[in-house]
Amino acid sequence: MNFFTWVYIFLFFFGIFFLTIFMFLHYRNRYRLFSSPAFTKHYSVSFLVPAYNEQNSLVETIEAIVNIDYPTDKKEIIIINDGSKDNTKEIALELVKKYSNVKLLDKTNSGKANSLNEALKKATGELIAVVDADSYPQKDALLKMIGHFDDSSVGAVTSRVLVKNKPNWLGKFQVMDYSIIAWTRKLLDFVDSVYVTNGPLSMYRTALVKKLGGFDPKNLTEDIEITWHILSEGYKTRMSYDAIVYTTVPEDFKTWVKQRVRWNLGGLQTVQKYGWAMFQKGAFGHFVIPYVTASFIFAIIGFILFFRYIWIKGSYNFFSWYYSLQGYPFWRYFDYTVSFTLLLFLGICFFVLAIWYYNLGFRNSETGNKSVIKIVAYSFFYRSLYVIPLIIAIYKLARGDIRWYTK
């Protein structure tokens, strides 16, 4: 058996393994997907809203937070203007005038993590809720999340992010993507493995975040980093699947790539930082770190195999164009025969499981049932695009070129 056959077997095996885990998690917990613990205590909550050039969305975000079902006297809203160059500051000042529990923290530009850390010093709530300035929590989101904090081992709770804008094919694919991401995250919750508390809406114990030294300003995805930090300290992170926040997603491919490069860079930085905890006690060491690390490695191997395939087929076609021009094509119809092979079998198993898994994900999300064609397009086309930002991120990480890429 040649080397590449072994690599394919390795990939398919682990692909099937992870998909089987998710299928088990779904079928064993399907009746608990949408349930959250009832809240018993009105914790005081400080909403931290870091904003950099968010003049178009800030008002709607703050109004969504103001309108959240929760006693006004228990809510504090801090807008952090991170040296915006547009009218964010002026708009924030208007909001401060309009709502008594809204405060403005104006500072020079130093990034999201620093902004959150500055606000953390001023926050008075027992809990902090981080809300991106282009995201809009549903009215009942907080009530669906807060009950988790009755368990003292829970350090953070995150929500389900859905897409607000979907003007084109990219937006439509992102709707599907966010649904699958959220659903997968919820399934991971059942084995204490929520490894991202997303930026659009996540809640943390204020004292815990302060004890951990706040958000890491060197990391491009402070939301992943803080989650791993909390998990590494032995705390649990939870996800409320019925707590919904809408967010604005990139509308063009270039911005999408920039955003995903940042996610990948931050993810890689985090894996680097917490690699020491690999295989240490608990779900974090035994599952989260190996799973996320494996995801990166498998994506890279997948890219190499894909590139190798394209290279081989491309070079055959390149060398045969001369003959094709003379009427002797390299490929002919009916030249192909499909016969049983080990890789074909594993590939079919993986493909069927993946389609089944995505289908379950869509059925349990706001998108509802999707046709097989759409699922196939999502898995084969859109998910393949993931590798572009990953490769750019690895290249940037290797060069030490790490900075905020989205704005």
Partner 1 sequence: MVYKIMNSRFRIFLESAIISMLILIIGFSFGLYVESNRNDKIIENYKNYEIQALDLKLQNYYYQIMDSSSCKQAIEQNFQFAEDIYLTGLELEKFEELNQITDELLREKKRYSLLKTELWLNTLLLKKKCDASFDTIAYLYAGDPTNSRIVAEQKIISNVLKDLKKEKGNLLVLLPVAGDLGLNAVELQKRVHNVTRLPVIIINEEIVLEGFNSIDEIKKYLRF
**Applying CB under 8 A, which residues contact partner 1?**
1, 5, 9, 13-14, 16-18, 20-21, 24-25, 28, 190-191, 283, 287, 312, 315-320, 323, 326, 328-330, 332, 337, 339-343, 345-346, 349
Tell me if residue 107 falls in helix, strand or coil: strand
Kindly list the distances between the CA atom of residue 175 and the CA atoms of 135, 158, 250, 263, 386, in Å, as whole numbers in the listed order.
Answer: 15, 18, 11, 17, 15
Query: How far apart are the C-alpha atoms of 370 and 255, rounded to whole Å?
Result: 26
12 near 346, Cβ under 8 Å? Answer: yes
Nearest to 279 by CA among 291, 267, 270: 291
Retrieve residue 249's tokens.
């997603």
Smallest separation, CB 346 to partner 1 (Å): 5
Smallest separation, CB 32 to partner 1 (Å): 12
Beginning with the edge strand found earlier in the chain, give each strand of the sheet holding 45-51 in spatial order: 102-107, 75-82, 45-51, 127-130, 202-205, 154-163, 236-247, 135-137
Smallest separation, CB 328 to partner 1 (Å): 5
Query: How far apart are the C-alpha atoms of 261 and 51, rounded to whole Å?
Result: 20
Q: Is 385 left (phi over 0), alpha (psi -120 to 50) or beta?
A: alpha
| Shorter beta-carbon distance to partner 1: residue 17 or 307 | 17
| Shorter beta-carbon distance to partner 1: residue 100 or 324 | 324
| Shorter beta-carbon distance to partner 1: residue 104 or 360 | 360
| Shorter beta-carbon distance to partner 1: residue 17 or 381 | 17
Smallest separation, CB 384 to partner 1 (Å): 23
| Shorter beta-carbon distance to partner 1: residue 9 or 305 | 9
CA 211, 212, 218, 224 torsion-angle sign: negative
Smallest separation, CB 202 to partner 1 (Å): 24
Smallest separation, CB 36 to partner 1 (Å): 18
| Shorter beta-carbon distance to partner 1: residue 13 or 307 | 13
